[in-house]
Amino acid sequence: MTQVSMTVRMDSQLKAKFDELCAQFGMSSNTAMNVFASAVVRKKKIPFEIEGEEADVYKKGWNA
């Protein structure tokens, strides 16, 4: 399978914490991103729930 490169921009402190946790899991951050992408494709959705505070949702005018 052909490999391609992808650039992701994130806060440097978040990246450092992410790298540290990935190392504890025995994988690189690159491997973790591939695991995430594979789960999204396999499940056809983000593999976890994304939530915000209700107040934020209503301020933007979204229906709950």
pLDDT digits (tens, 9 = 90+) for 3-18: 999 999 999 999 999 9
**How high is the pLDDT of residue 58?**
57
How many residues would you count in the chain?
A: 64
**How high is the pLDDT of residue 62?**
56
**CA neighbor of 47 nearest in space, from 36, 58, 33:** 36
Structure tokens at 15: 């990246």
Q: Report DSSP state, residue 46.
A: -
How far is it, in rounded angstroms, from Cα 13 to Cα 27? 19
How far is it, in rounded angstroms, from Cα 40 to Cα 27? 19
**How high is the pLDDT of residue 53?**
74
Query: pLDDT tens, 21-60?
Result: 999 999 999 999 999 999 999 999 999 988 877 655 555 6
